[in-house]
Structure 1
Amino acid sequence: MSDAAVERESMEYDVVIVGGGPAGLAAAIRLKQKVQADGGDISVALLEKGSEIGAHILSGAVIDPSGLSELFPNWKELGAPLETAVTEDRFIYLGPQGALDISALPMPSYMKNHGCYIGSLGNLARWLAEQAEALGVEIYPGMACSEVLYDDSGAVAGVVAGVFGLNREGEPKGDYQPGLELRAKYTFFAEGVRGSLSQQVIRKYELDKDSDYQKYGLGIKELWKIPKAKHKPGYVQHTLGWPLDDKTGGGSFLYHFGDEFVAIGFVVHLNYQNPYLSPFDEFQRFKQHPVVREHLEGGSRVSYGARAITEGGYQSVPKLSFPGGVLIGCSAGFVNVPRIKGSHNAVKSAILAADAAYKAIASGDAPSTLEAYDAAYKASDIARELYAVRNVKPLLTKFGTTLGTLLGGVEMMTTGLFGGWSPWGTLKHGKSDAQSIKPAADFKPIAYPKPDGKLSFDKLSSVFISNTNHEEDQPVHLRLKDPEVPIAINLPKYAEPAQRYCPAGVYEIVEDAGKPRFQINAQNCVHCKTCDIKDPTQNIVWTTPEGGGGPNYPNM
C-alpha cells in the first residue's frame, strides 16, 4: 500500500519517546520532574509496541540501582519492586561434569554484586510507568512505531505509530487503521537492542562512522518456581565454560529472588563461528550440569524468553544525537559486558538526554541537534565505566574463553589502577557478528540430546509459555531482501543457520515437492532480533509487527 495515499491524523508534542523500557520511561520521568521543579510545561508521549509496559522486557536481572537512585533517591520508600538484595555471589568455571569455583580470584570491586538487587526488570518498568503517568506522561502501549517522519530540512520530525488492519499482502482489511503521526521537537529512540527505527537513523545520519562494529550476544532465559526448602533469596551464580567450547564465548546466570523464584539464563556471544551451533539447545544441555540442576530439580518452569544484548562496549557506541532526535539506552549500546549489566546505564543516559532536551526546549531556542547530550555522555560515569572495560570483549574474541578471561581480568585490574589506561590502548572488534560465521564444511553437525521434559524442553513448548502471539493475517515482519538467498546461498554454504540460531523456531527448511523451501513462522517470533544480527548474508530485516504482538512476559 502506498504511504503517499495514506491520510493520517497528527498529534504534536515537545518530546516523543519510542520504547517503554527503563531508558524510555526514565527519560519521560526526568522531563516531567524538570517541569515540576521549574513550573513550566513540556508535553511528552511514550509509545510501546508491547501489549503493556513490561510485556517485552527481558533481563537477568541483577540490577545496579545507581541509575534508579539518580531518578528517585527515595525509590525504596516509593515501593519500587526491588526487594531481594544480593547476599551471596559465586563465579564458577564449568567442565563437562566438574566445576571450579573461582569466586576468590582477585577482581575489581565493580565486578562484585554487593549493593545490587535481584528482580524483574519488566516489573520495574511497570512501576516506572506508574510514576511517569502520575507526572503527566501520556503512555500508549500496543502502538508499534513503523516509520520515521522527517521535515523539509531532513531532520527527524516524529514517527508513525499504530498502523493496524493490513493483510498478509499489505492491503487494508475491514478494520484498517492508518496510524497516527506523532510529531515532536525531539524524538527519543529507546527501542532497546537493534531497534528497527534506531537502525534507520544510524544509517541515515552515519552515526556509527567513527565507531567500531556493534557486537551482540543472545540471552535466553527461563523463570522457575522451586520448593521453598531449596530457595536461597539473594543467591547469585555466574558460570563460564561448558557446554560451550573455548572458542565460543558465553556464560550463564542463576538468581534466587522473590517468592521462590529462580531466574536462569544462558548467553551466547553471537560472534561464534560454527553454523551448526544452536544457542537454545546449548542452554537446555547446560541445565543438566550437576551445579545447575541441583537448583531446579523439584521445581517447575514458569516462563521463557530470549533477547539480544549489546556487547560492543565503549568503542561501539555511535554518535548519540542527530537532527531532531537522540539514541538512549540499549539503542545506543551501554551494556558493561563483564558486569552483565546495562539497565543502570540506560537510565543514566536517559537522564542526560532529558536534561539536554529540557534545557533546549525551555530556553525557547531549541537547536536541531542536541550536541549537549553527546558532550554530557563523554563526561559521564557511563563513559568512564565502559572505557575501563573496553578491551575485555576483544580479548575474549581473540584468545578464547579461558585465556581471554584471565587477560580480561588483568586488563580490568590495570585500567582500574591507572584511570582507564591500557598498554595496548583500545582494541578493535574487527568484524561484525554476521561476518564471524564460517562455512559448514569446516564443522561437523552437533548432536544435541533430546529434551527430557523436566529440565530441558523443545522450542515450541518454550515459545508457548512466553505467551507469544501475533495476528496471523498481517504482513510478515521478518523480511527477506532476496527470497532466493536462504536456499541458493545460506543452505549449501552455511547449512542455513537460521533454523538453529533462532531460539523460537521461526525459521525452517521444509521439503516441498522434493525440494527444500525456506519457511518463516513469524507468529513464533519473540522479538529477540538475532536473525537481523547473525544472518551471514544480512538478508533478513526485522521490522515491527502490529502493536501488541509478540511475547507477554510475566515477572521477567
Structure 2
Amino acid sequence: MEYDVLIVGGGPAGLAAAIRAKQVAQDRGSDISVCVIEKGAEIGSHILSGNVFEPRALNELLPDWRERGAPLDTAVTDDRFYLLTKNSAVEVPPMLLPPTIDNHGNHVISLGNLCKWMGSQAEDMGVEVFAGFSAAEGVFNDGGALVGVQTADVGIDKAGKPKDTFQPGMILKGKQTILAEGCRGSLSEALMARYALREGRSPQQYGLGVKEVWELAEDKAKPGLVVHTVGWPLDAFTYGGSFMYHMKPNLLLLGLVVGLDYRNPYLSPYQELQRFKHHPAIRPLLEGGRCISYGARCLNEGGVQALPKLTFPGGVLTGCGAGFLNVPKIKGSHTAIKSGMLAGETVAKAIIDRGEAMDEGAELAEYQTNMEGSWVWQELQQVRNAKPAFKWGGLYGGLAYSGFTLNVTGGREPWTFTWNKKDCDTTDPKDRHTPIEYPKPDGKISFDLLENLVRSGTNHEHDQPAHLKVKPPLADVPVNVSWKQYAGPESRFCPAKVYEFLPDESSSGEMRLQINAQNCVHCKCCSIKTPQEYINWTVPEGGGGPAYSGM
C-alpha cells in the first residue's frame, strides 16, 4: 500500500503530523494521502503520561478545540510543590519555584483520551488510521533510503512456524515516513543507529514513570489541584519525584518518576511508589478510595544535548521518539504536538511543491531548520542545564543550580553540561549496596505488582515469538554479568515482572533468566537499564500490550 505520508505511531506527535499535513494540503487546494499506523489495539491504548497539559501547540493546530469537544475539562486551579522527608512534607513557597512549573492556564487530562479525540479529528480530515499494526522493520531502496515499513507477521507460533491464523505483514510505503513512536521506539532506534543520527551527541538519558489512577472519596477530590514532590522515598542522589493531579469528577492521577541513571541495583521504582503512598501526608488522601488503573512508561530526560539529528533519507523523527520532553517543566505533550506539526507541514509542502520531481527517499533537511527555529528548541535551550545539575550535585545541589539557571540566568549561562555515560553504565556493583527491604503491600493502599498489573489490561497472544530477546553476542551477560555482578536489577526495575532469575535445574548452583514477555507493558525500560543494554526490544503482534483506560 502506497501513501504520500506514512506516520508510525498514533500518539500526540503522529496525530498532529497527520492533521497538519492535511491542513497544508487543504490550504493549497491539493490532496495528499496520509496514513497512521499504531501498534496498540486502538488509538490511546498504549498512551501513558502524567498529565498536566499545556495547550499552546493545540491552540496552533486546532484553535477551535473547545468547540470540537477536546477532552480538556479540568483547568488547573492550584499548584503546590513539597519537599518530603520520611515523616514530613515541607511546602516550597511559590516565590522560590521556577516559572517552568507554573501551571496557570494548563489542564489536568488523560493523554490517552486526548489522542483518541485527535485520532477522530484526523479521520474526519481523510487520514487513514490503522490501529493494531506494529511496524516491525524499515523498507529501503537500493540507495539505502527508507521508503516505508513492513508490519509484523501475525499468526506465528513460539517456534517461528505459521499457525492457521497466519497473515504476512504488509509493506506500507510513503514518499516520506514520519516516525512518532514515542520514547525508545524500536524502529526509531534502529534507524538512528543505521544513519548514525546520535553521533556527536550526549547519550540520551531516561526516567521510568510508574502511574496509578485512583477514584477518591468525593470529599477528598479537589479537581484542578496539581501537586509535585521531591525527596523521600528516593535518596539524595537518585533523581526523581512524584506527581498527584486531581481530575474531574473525583480522579487522582498519581505516580513516581525515577531517573534511570540511579546507582543502587536493589532499587525498585514500582516498590518506591508503593512505599510513597504510605507517607503520612499521602495515605489519608487515598483511604476510602479505589485504584482503578495502573501502568508504566519510560520518558526522555536528556534534553537538547541528547537530541539526535532529526532527518535521514526518506523520513524524520518527531516527539518523544526524538526526545523533546521539557524536564524542568515536567511536560512533553505540547512539544510533541508542535514537532509533529512541523514534521507534517514540512513533509506536505515538499511533496506538493516538488510533485513528480520528489526523489524517492529524499532527505528534508528543512525540518531540522524548522525545529531549531521553533519555540520548542528555545524552551529546551533555556532549561538545558537544569536536569544535568542533579547528576553531579544530587538533590540539594541540583535544586540550587536549577533555581539559578531557571530563575536567574534564564538558561543564558555560556556553558552547557554534557555527559558520556549511558543509563546502563551508571548502576553500581551489588557489593556497594545493601538490599532494600520493601514493606509488604496491604492490598488497600499498596499492591502486589502482579495484582496491579491486571489493572493495566495487558494482554499478548501467548503462542507467538517473544518480542523481548537477549542480543546474541551478549548471551552470557544476563547471568555472568547482570546476576553475578549486579544482583539482577532487571528483576526489580521492570514494572511488570517480566524478568526473573530462577535456579537452573540443568546446572547445579547456577541461575537462569526467565522472560515473561506476556506481562510486558511496553515501557522500554529493559532496553535501557539492563547491563550493556542486552535486551533487544522488538514489536509483538499488533494489538498486544497494555489496554490503558484514562491514562
Identify whether the pair has TM-score above 0.5, normalized to the shorter chain.
yes
Instruction: Say which of 472, 478, 488 aligns to 1:486.
Output: 478
Letter in 2 for 1:547: G
Q: In the aligned structure 2, how far is the partner of 1:538 from the partner of 1:36?
A: 45
Separation of aligned partners in 1, 2:542 and 2:377: 34
Q: Could you report, residue by residue, the CA deviation over 1:75-126 in whole angstroms, capped at 9, with x for unpaired residues? A: 1111100010000000000000011100424334332000100010000000
Could you tell me the percent identity over the aligned residues? 51
Equivalenced residue count is 542
Amino acid at match of 1:519: Q
Residue among 413, 419, 425 paired with 1:422: 413
Aligned-pair CA distance for 1:294: 2.4
- Partners of 1:52 and 1:195 in 2: CA distance: 18
- State the 1:512 CA deviation: 3.5
Q: Distance in 2 between matches of 1:421 and 1:227?
A: 46
Q: Determine the structure 1 residue equivalent to 2:99.
A: 109
Among 347, 369, 377, the alignment partner of 2:337 is: 347
Q: Describe the superposition over 1:362-393 as per-residue Cα deviations: whole angstroms up to 9, x where unpaired.
A: 01243611111000111110000000000011
- Counterparts of 2:38 and 2:138 in 1: how far apart (Å)? 15
Match of 1:139 among 93, 114, 129: 129
Indicate conservation of the 8 Å contact 1:231/1:256, yes or no. Answer: yes
Counterpart among 200, 205, 228 of residue 190 in structure 2: 200
Offset at 1:430?
A: 2.8
CA contact (8 A) 1:86 1:236 kept: yes
Cα distance in 1 for residues equivalent to 2:328 and 2:283: 24
* TM-score scaled by length of structure 2: 0.97
Unmatched runs of 5 consecutive residues or more in structure 1: 1-10
Q: Which residue of 2 aligns with 1:402?
A: 396
Distance between the aligned counterparts of 1:201 and 1:517, measured in 2? 32
Tell me how far apart the structure 2 counterparts of residues 470 and 250 of structure 1 sit (CA, whole Å): 31
Match of 1:505 among 491, 497, 502: 497
Alignment of structure 1 residues 288-299 onto 2, 5 Å: 288-299=278-289
CA distance in 2, matches of 1:114, 1:294: 27
In 1, Cα distance between the equivalents of 2:293 and 2:121? 27
Distance 2:339 2:18 in 1: 12
Consecutive unaligned residues of structure 2, counting only runs of 5 or more, are none
SS at match of 1:503: coil
Q: Look up the match of 2:380.
A: 386
What is the 5 A alignment of 1:145-544? 145-363=135-353, 364=355, 365-366=357-358, 368-416=362-410, 420-423=411-414, 425-481=415-471, 482-513=474-505, 514=508, 515-544=510-539
The answer to whether the 8 Å contact 2:481/2:531 transfers is no
1:8 corresponding residue in structure 2? none
Amino acid at match of 2:492: R
Q: 1:142, 1:162 within 8 Å by CA — same for their partners in 2? A: no
Amino acid at match of 1:535: T
Alpha-carbon distance between aligned partners in 2 of 1:65 and 1:246, rounded to the nearest angstrom: 33
What is the CA–CA distance in structure 2 between the aligned matches of 1:366 and 1:122, rounded to whole Å?
Answer: 35
Q: Residues of 2 paired with 1:66 and 1:155: CA distance?
A: 34
Show the counterpart of 1:7. Answer: none
Residue 3 of structure 2 aligns to a residue whose secondary structure is strand
- After superposition, the C-alpha distances for 1:498-551 in whole angstroms (9 at most, x for unaligned) are 100101100001123254221000000000000000011211111100000000
How far off its partner does 1:415 sit? 3.2
1:90·1:237 contact (CA, 8 Å) conserved in 2? yes
Selected match of 1:124 from 104, 114, 117 = 114
**Mapped contact 2:178–2:316 kept (Cα < 8 A):** yes
Q: Is the CA contact 1:395–1:407 (under 8 Å) kept in the aligned structure 2?
A: yes
Shift of residue 469, structure 1, vs aligned partner: 0.2
- For residues 253-283 of structure 1, the C-alpha deviation after alignment (integer angstroms, 9 at most, x for no partner) is 0011022100000000000001011110011
SS of structure 1 residue aligned to 2:492: helix
Q: Secondary structure at the match of 2:242?
A: strand
Mapped partners of 1:105, 1:448: distance in 2: 36
Deviation at 1:433, TM superposition (A): 0.5
**Farther-moved stretch of structure 1 (194-203 vs 363-372):** 363-372
Deviation at 1:490, TM superposition (A): 1.1
Shift of 1:162: 4.5
State the secondary structure of the residue aligned to 1:290: coil
Does the Cα contact within 8 Å between 1:532 and 1:542 map onto a contact in 2? yes
Counterparts of 1:415 and 1:156 in 2: how far apart (Å)?
Answer: 42
Q: Could you tell me which amino acid in structure 2 is paired with residue 497 of structure 1?
A: P
Q: In structure 2, the residue corresponding to 1:348 is in which secondary structure?
A: helix
Which of 541, 546, 550 aligns to 1:546? It is 541
Q: Is the 8 A contact 1:27 1:353 kept in 2?
A: yes
| Equivalent of 2:75 in 85, 90, 97 | 85
Q: Which amino acid aligns with 1:377?
A: M
SS at 2:253 equivalent: strand
Partner SS, residue 382 of structure 1: helix
Deviates more, 1:477-486 or 1:534-543: 477-486
Quote the offset at 1:179 in angstroms: 1.1
Supply the distance in 1 between the matched residues of 2:288 and 2:93 (Cα, whole angstroms): 27
Runs of 4+ aligned residues of structure 1 deviating over 6 Å after TM superposition are: none
Deviation per CA, 1:389-408: give whole Å up to 9, x if none.
00011101110012211211
Q: Is the 8 A contact 2:57 2:338 kept in 1?
A: yes
